[in-house]
């Protein structure tokens, strides 16, 4: 059993620290765009108590533009190699099969795919390796997803999509123990959709896979509090705690230390 698998079977909620090696991600765009800046941030996230890191080289924020394979690889691979050397489990945030393969070769333990392995060759890239995968729900694409999100019943539809992607993954030869799921807060959802999903997150537990959520600094928290993206720390911590109480196993966060402290209090009580 590797470190990530061991952590997943523990009772403890896990913190995934976000590291966007990009010039344009929505809340930290440009801060860690060079390899040196990104490596310094790896060290900081580890000191603050991250259980794993999610390293991405292409922004998925609403309206973002795709980047080339070469550019994405040059952004993420040196940072993954450094994180692996520091012995922290690494997730690669990508939807490109070639990046998945290169990241796994460099030591990544998890592929975080906001496109749920729907790209041609993505299922095979995971099936032929032993890495885990996170299948996330999104309505539309990052370019267009916030234009007119629409659902008759958001929880039922997200659940049905994730069930279908779990089936596709299993049919491709990926065992259930290697699959995580994520409702995709903010990915083709209005504030009301996001709130309904958070209220009813525990319904997704019926799918039998650990739940990962990303709420950190998202627009829904800005809509609730009126705060700009750089002032959403407290709302992000509250949202992470709520998600864990509603059944999330992993919270994907920018502010690791504050989330770690809040989860320590929660764990001391429950
Ligand atoms: C890359 N990324 C941005 N937001 C995310 C979220 O909510 N979940 C996952 N799995 N990845 C995300």
Token look-up 């993206």 returns 229
Task: Give per-residue pLDDT as tens, 122-147.
Answer: 999 999 999 999 999 999 888 888 88
pTM: 0.96
Active site residue 178: no
Looking at 165, 218, 246, 249, which residue is catalytic? 218
Ligand 1: nearest atom to the Cα of 185: 7
Q: How sure is the predictor about 46, in pLDDT bands with cuts at 50, 70 and 90?
A: very high
Residues having CB closer than 6 A to ligand 1 are: 56, 60, 93, 112, 114, 134, 136, 182, 184-185, 212, 214, 252
- Sorted by sequence, the CB contacts under 8 Å of residue 268 that are 6+ apart come out as none
The residue whose CB lies within 8 Å of the most ligand 1 atoms, and thus the one to mutate among 60, 91, 162, is 60
How far is ligand 1, taken at its centre, from the CA of residue 184, in Å? 6
The residue whose CB lies within 8 Å of the most ligand 1 atoms, and thus the one to mutate among 14, 52, 184, is 184
Looking at 61, 232, 249, 252, which residue is catalytic? 252
The residue whose CA has the least distance to atom 5 of ligand 1 is: 214
Mean of pLDDT values over 161-175? 98
- Over 80: is that where the pLDDT of 31 sits? yes
Pair 217, 251: CB distance under 8 Å? no
Ligand 1: nearest atom to the Cα of 134: 10
- Over 70: is that where the pLDDT of 80 sits? yes
Token look-up 């885990």 returns 132
The residue whose CA has the least distance to atom 1 of ligand 1 is: 93
Task: Give per-residue pLDDT as tens, 227-241.
Answer: 999 999 999 999 999
How far is ligand 1, taken at its centre, from the CA of residue 214, in Å? 5
Instruction: State the pLDDT at residue 250.
Output: 98
Strands of 212-214's sheet in order across = 179-182, 132-136, 110-113, 90-93, 52-56, 14-20, 250-253, 212-214
Helix axes 69-85, 97-105, angle to 10 degrees: 20
Give the burial class of 149: count Cβ atoms within 10 A of its Cβ; 0-12 exposed, 13-18 middle, 19 or more buried.
Answer: middle
Mean of pLDDT values over 153-170? 98
How far is ligand 1, taken at its centre, from the CA of residue 267, in Å? 24
Sign of CA dihedral 163, 165, 168, 173: negative
- Over 90: is that where the pLDDT of 30 sits? no
Ligand 1: nearest atom to the Cα of 61: 3
């Amino acid at each position: 059993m590797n470190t990530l698998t061991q952590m997943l079977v523990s009772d403890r909620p896990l913190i995934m620290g976000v590291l966007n090696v990009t010039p344009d991600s929505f809340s930290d765009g440009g801060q860690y765009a060079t390899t040196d800046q990104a490596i310094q941030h790896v060290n900081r996230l580890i000191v603050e108590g991250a259980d794993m890191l999610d390293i991405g080289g292409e922004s998925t924020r609403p309206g973002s533009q795709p980047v080339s394979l070469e550019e994405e690889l040059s952004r993420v691979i040196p940072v993954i190699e450094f994180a692996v050397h520091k012995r922290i489990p690494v997730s690669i945030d990508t939807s490109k099969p070639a990046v998945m393969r290169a990241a796994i070769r460099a030591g990544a333990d998890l592929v975080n795919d906001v496109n749920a392995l729907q790209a041609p060759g993505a299922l095979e890239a995971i099936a032929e390796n032993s890495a885990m995968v996170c299948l996330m729900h999104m309505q539309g694409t990052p370019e267009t997803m916030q234009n007119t999100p629409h659902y008759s019943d958001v929880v039922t539809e997200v659940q049905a999509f994730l069930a279908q992607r779990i089936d596709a993954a299993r049919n491709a030869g990926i065992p259930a123990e290697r699959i995580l799921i994520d409702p995709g807060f903010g990915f083709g959802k209005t504030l009301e959709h996001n709130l309904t999903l958070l209220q009813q997150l525990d319904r997704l537990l019926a799918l039998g896979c650990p739940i990962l959520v990303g709420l950190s600094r998202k627009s829904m928290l800005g809509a609730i509090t009126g705060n700009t993206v750089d002032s959403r720390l407290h709302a992000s911590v509250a949202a992470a705690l709520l998600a864990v109480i509603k059944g999330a196993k992993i919270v994907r966060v920018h502010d690791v230390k504050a989330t770690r402290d809040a989860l320590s209090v929660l764990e001391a009580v429950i």
